[in-house]
Amino acid sequence: MDKFGGGSGTAYSLTSNGEHLLLVFTNRTFSIWEFPAIREGARHPLPVNKAAAEALANGGRVAAFIGEDGNVVFWHRETQMTNWLALPDTNRSSRPAFSSDGRKLALAGWQHVTVVDVSSGTNLLSISASRPRELSHGAAFSLRFSPDSNKIIVGFGSGDVKLWDLAGGGGRIDLKGHTFQVNGSAFLDAQTVITSGEDVRFWDLSTPTPSAILQPRPAFFMGTALSGDGRRLAVGGSDGVITLWDTASRQEVLTLSGHTRPVQALAFLPDGNSLVSVGMDQIRVWRAFPLAQ
């Protein structure tokens, strides 16, 4: 896979429903994989000179590539055509993410969060990531829309986590407690989010304070995914181990070992019992036991 120099992004993007994965290769091509079949599609030339990060929408039909210059190029699988979105913000973006319906693209960087309409390229919202006289939070290392696309959560290199209510005009909630970069996040329900860094935290947005802190072993925790019913949480570790918890009891129910390097991304497939994991060593599809077992 490619080596990225313009942002905190990696050379892949796993869709939130786990059905497609975009991989970028060192020969400046990319392909889209399908799961659970683990089937690779055709290789395509990278549509930017040098990429800083990328995102893939659910369905695998539209990809967004951020160039090192900050411009965004949308690639459409059905037509093989691209369209260019001029620099959405004066500050470079380091992390993109599509909403679950693929209609919105969020871009996060050192100083800003921008949301654009995919079909028109219209800038829907631009928010400063830092308040006046507030220190920089570093690059964005995680970015996710809520399932209803009304909220976005961003984890920064400093350990700061910020959540914006898009429906409410961009109101912000600060979640403080992590001490190092936050690489994973998930929305459990309207009042609870989960973040992963040096530990795994459940946050009560009405407070907002951690309602639970999980640290099953000495490791740094990265990829984070919830099953469709919200009853199962999976988190990948820097040690290559994936841990699953019951979200109601916060009890660990299973560990999956097989990766030999950090697990950076996870997603449950729609059946709720299959889990896709993307590590620095390999890609795996796991068949989990039903929660009742």
Band (284; pLDDT cuts 50, 70, 90): very high
Secondary-structure class of domain 1-182 per CATH: mainly beta
Higher pLDDT, 288 or 276: 276
* In the predicted structure, residue 209 carries a pLDDT above the cut 70: yes
Band (5; pLDDT cuts 50, 70, 90): very low
* In the predicted structure, residue 177 carries a pLDDT above the cut 80: yes
Cα–Cα distance, 276 to 166 (Å, whole number): 29
| Residue 106 confidence (pLDDT) | 94
Band (84; pLDDT cuts 50, 70, 90): confident
Strands 161-165 and 171-175, by their bridges, are antiparallel
* In the predicted structure, residue 171 carries a pLDDT above the cut 90: no
Q: What mean pLDDT is reported for the chain?
A: 87
| Residue 71 confidence (pLDDT) | 83
Cα–Cα distance, 175 to 94 (Å, whole number): 20
Which of 76-85, 90-99, 279-288 has the least mean pLDDT? 90-99
**Using one digit for the tens of pLDDT, what is the confidence trace for 180-190?**
999 999 999 98
Higher pLDDT, 271 or 182: 182
| Residue 133 confidence (pLDDT) | 46
Higher pLDDT, 132 or 116: 116
DSSP summary character for residue 46? -
* In the predicted structure, residue 246 carries a pLDDT above the cut 90: yes
Band (126; pLDDT cuts 50, 70, 90): confident
Which of 16-25, 50-59, 281-290 has the least mean pLDDT? 281-290
* In the predicted structure, residue 240 carries a pLDDT above the cut 60: yes
Domain boundaries along the sequence of the chain: 1-182, 197-293
CB 235, CB 196: distance < 8 Å: yes
Which string of b and e fits 170-182 if b means at least 16 CB within 10 Å?
A: eeebebebbeebb
At residue 290, φ and ψ (nearest 5 deg) are -55, 150
* In the predicted structure, residue 85 carries a pLDDT above the cut 90: no
Q: What is the CA radius of gyration of the chain?
A: 18
